[in-house]
Amino acid sequence: MAKVKVKLNRKGVGELLKSRDMEKVLQELAQQHSQGWETDTKMMGTRVIASIYSEDRKQISEELDSHNIVGGL
């Protein structure tokens, strides 16, 4: 197999991680995995992140009891 050398464009990767397109992709993924929980996207430092959360204590308690804790995507 041939060796391939890849050099990332750091500025381009940084722009991609902060882009509106990336935010849309992450929002769609969060919504697909949210199972009725709330979702949010925001800029955190060098990239956009997506969160799945609930402020409903009963919903959180039921999730903890069922051992199906929602984790990272």
Query: What pLDDT, on a 0 to 100 scale, did the predictor assign at position 59?
Result: 86
Q: How far apart are CA 73 and CA 69, in angstroms?
A: 12
Compute and round to an integer the Cα radius of gyration of the chain.
Answer: 17
DSSP three-state, residue 17? helix
Answer for the pair 49, 41: CB distance below 8 angstroms, yes or no. yes
Q: How far from chain centre, in Å, is Cα 60?
A: 19
Pick the residue with more confidence: 69 or 63?
A: 63
Q: How far apart are CA 17 and CA 13, in angstroms?
A: 6
Domain ranges in the chain are 17-66
pLDDT tens digit sequence for 9-53: 999 999 999 999 999 999 999 999 998 899 999 999 999 999 999
Would you say residue 72 has pLDDT above 50?
no
